[in-house]
Chain A
Amino acid sequence: MFELLGIPPQALFGQLLLGLINGSFYALLSLGLAIIFGLLNIINFTHGAQYMMGAFVAWMLLNYLGINYWAALFVAPVIVGITGVIIERLLISRLYHLDHLYGLLLTFGLALIIQGLFRNYYGISGLPYQIPGVLSGGQNLGFMFLPNYRGWVIVASLIVCLATWFIIEKTRLGAYLRAATENPTLVGAFGINVPRMVTLTYGFGVALAAFAGVLAAPIYAVNPNMGADLIIVVFAVVVIGGMGSILGSIVTGFGLGLIEGLTRVFYPEGSAVVIFVVMAIVLLVKPAGLFGRAA
Chain B
Amino acid sequence: MKTTGKILGALAGLLMAGSAYATDVKIGVMNDRSGIYSDIGGEGSVIAARMAVEDFGAADKGINVEIVSADHQNKPDVGSNIARQWYDTEGVDVIADVPTSSVALAVNDITREKNKIFLNSGAATSDLTGAKCSPNTVHWTYDTWQLAHGTGGAMVAAGGKTWFFLTADYAFGHALERDTAAVVKEAGGEVIGSVKTPFPGTDFSSFLLQAQSSGAQVIGLANAGGDTVNSMKQAAEFGITQGGQAIAGLLVFVNDVHALGLDIAQGLVLTETFYWDLNDQTREWSARFEKTAGKKPSMIQAGVYAAVLHYLKAVEAVGDKDPTKVMAKMKEMPTDDPLFGKGVVRADGRKTHDAYLFRVKKPDQSEGEWDLYETVATIPADKAFRPLADGGCELVK
Chain A residues in the interface with B (C-beta under 8 A): 8, 10-11, 14-15, 18-19, 21-22, 116, 119, 123-128, 130-131, 137-138, 144-145, 147, 149-150, 218-221, 223, 225-226, 229-230, 261, 264-265, 268-269, 271-273
CA distance A150 to B212 in the complex (A): 17
Complex interface: chain B residues within 8 A of A226 (CB): 202
CA distance A199 to B230 in the complex (A): 35
Contact present for A268 and B197 (CB under 8 Å): yes
Contact present for B255 and A264 (CB under 8 Å): no
Complex interface: chain B residues within 8 A of A149 (CB): 237
Contact present for B238 and A147 (CB under 8 Å): yes
Contact present for A128 and B259 (CB under 8 Å): yes
Complex interface: chain A residues within 8 A of B209 (CB): 11, 14-15, 18, 144
Chosen A-B contacts, 26 in total, with CB atoms closer than 8 Å, are: A8-B213, A14-B209, A14-B213, A18-B205, A18-B209, A19-B206, A123-B255, A124-B36, A124-B37, A125-B39, A125-B258, A125-B259, A126-B229, A128-B263, A130-B263, A130-B264, A131-B237, A138-B237, A150-B205, A220-B203, A221-B259, A223-B259, A230-B202, A268-B195, A269-B196, A272-B198
- Within the complex, the shortest CB–CB distance from B84 to chain A, in Å, comes to 27
- Contact indicator per residue, chain B 227-238, by CB within 8 Å of chain A (1) or not (0): 001100110011
- Within the complex, the shortest CB–CB distance from B122 to chain A, in Å, comes to 14
Contact present for B255 and A268 (CB under 8 Å): no
Contact present for A10 and B213 (CB under 8 Å): yes
Contact present for A147 and B239 (CB under 8 Å): yes
CA distance A218 to B42 in the complex (A): 26
Complex interface: chain A residues within 8 A of B201 (CB): 272
Contact present for B230 and A221 (CB under 8 Å): yes
Contact present for B233 and A219 (CB under 8 Å): yes
Complex interface: chain A residues within 8 A of B38 (CB): 119, 123-124
CA distance A145 to B38 in the complex (A): 35
Complex interface: chain B residues within 8 A of A261 (CB): 206
Contact present for B206 and A265 (CB under 8 Å): yes
Complex interface: chain B residues within 8 A of A119 (CB): 34, 38
Complex interface: chain B residues within 8 A of A229 (CB): 200, 202
- Within the complex, the shortest CB–CB distance from A262 to chain B, in Å, comes to 10
Contact present for A126 and B226 (CB under 8 Å): yes
Q: Given A138-B239, A145-B243, are A220 and B210 neighbors across the interface (CB < 8 Å)?
A: no
CA distance A57 to B309 in the complex (A): 41
Q: How many B residues touch A, CB cutoff 8 Å?
A: 43
Q: Which residue of B lies closest to A272 (CB)?
A: B198
Q: Given A145-B243, A225-B226, A271-B198, are A124 and B261 neighbors across the interface (CB < 8 Å)?
A: no
Contact present for B239 and A221 (CB under 8 Å): no
Contact present for A123 and B35 (CB under 8 Å): no
Contact present for A264 and B207 (CB under 8 Å): yes
Complex interface: chain B residues within 8 A of A218 (CB): 237
CA distance A218 to B230 in the complex (A): 10
CA distance A92 to B353 in the complex (A): 56
CA distance A130 to B207 in the complex (A): 22
- Within the complex, the shortest CB–CB distance from A173 to chain B, in Å, comes to 34
CA distance A15 to B208 in the complex (A): 10
In the A-B complex, the 8 residue pairs with the closest CB atoms: A128-B261, A272-B198, A264-B206, A126-B259, A125-B259, A125-B255, A125-B39, A221-B229
- Within the complex, the shortest CB–CB distance from B214 to chain A, in Å, comes to 10
B295 at the interface (CB under 8 A from A): yes
Residue of B169, B205, B210, B261 near A130 (CB, 8 A) is B261
Q: Which residue of B lies closest to A119 (CB)?
A: B34
CA distance A19 to B212 in the complex (A): 17
- Within the complex, the shortest CB–CB distance from B228 to chain A, in Å, comes to 9
B70 at the interface (CB under 8 A from A): no
- Within the complex, the shortest CB–CB distance from B256 to chain A, in Å, comes to 6
Q: Given A11-B209, A145-B243, are A124 and B169 neighbors across the interface (CB < 8 Å)?
A: no
Complex interface: chain B residues within 8 A of A268 (CB): 195-198, 206-207
- Contact indicator per residue, chain B 151-165, by CB within 8 Å of chain A (1) or not (0): 000000000000000
Taking A14-B209, A219-B234, A221-B233 as known contacts, 8 extra A-B pairs with beta carbons closer than 8 A to each other, sorted by chain A number, are A18-B206, A127-B259, A128-B263, A144-B209, A220-B233, A221-B202, A268-B206, A271-B198
Complex interface: chain B residues within 8 A of A273 (CB): 198
Complex interface: chain B residues within 8 A of A127 (CB): 259
CA distance A225 to B202 in the complex (A): 11
B260 at the interface (CB under 8 A from A): yes
Q: Given A125-B256, A225-B36, A269-B198, are A150 and B206 neighbors across the interface (CB < 8 Å)?
A: no
Output the residue of A138, A264, A272 with the most chain B CB within 10 A: A264
CA distance A116 to B43 in the complex (A): 14
Output the residue of B195, B200, B209, B212 with the most chain A CB within 10 A: B209
